[in-house]
Structure 1
Amino acid sequence: MKLYLVTSNENKLREISLLLPDGIELESIEAVASHRDIIEDSPTFLGNSVKKIEAYMDLGVPLLADDSGLVIDSLGGFPGVNSARFMEGSSYFGKMSAILDRMENEQERTARFICAALFYDPSNHSLLGVEGKVDGTIAKGISGTGGFGYDPIFIPQGYSDTFAVLGDSVKGRLSHRATAFRRLFSLVCLCNEKA
Structure 2
Amino acid sequence: MQMRQYHDLEWGTPLHDSRALFELLSLELMQSGLSWRTILHKRQGFIRAFHNFDPHVVMTLDAEGDGLLSDPSIIRNRRKIQAVIDNAEAIVALENRGISFNEYVWQFVNHESITNQVTDYTQSPCQSPISITMSKSMKRDGFSFVGPVVVYSFMEAAGLVNDHESSCFRWAQLAQGSQSASQGLQA
Structure number, greater radius of gyration: 1
- State whether TM-score is above 0.5: no
More strand by proportion, 1 or 2? 1
More helix by proportion, 1 or 2? 2
TM-score (norm 2): 0.28
TM-score (norm 1): 0.28
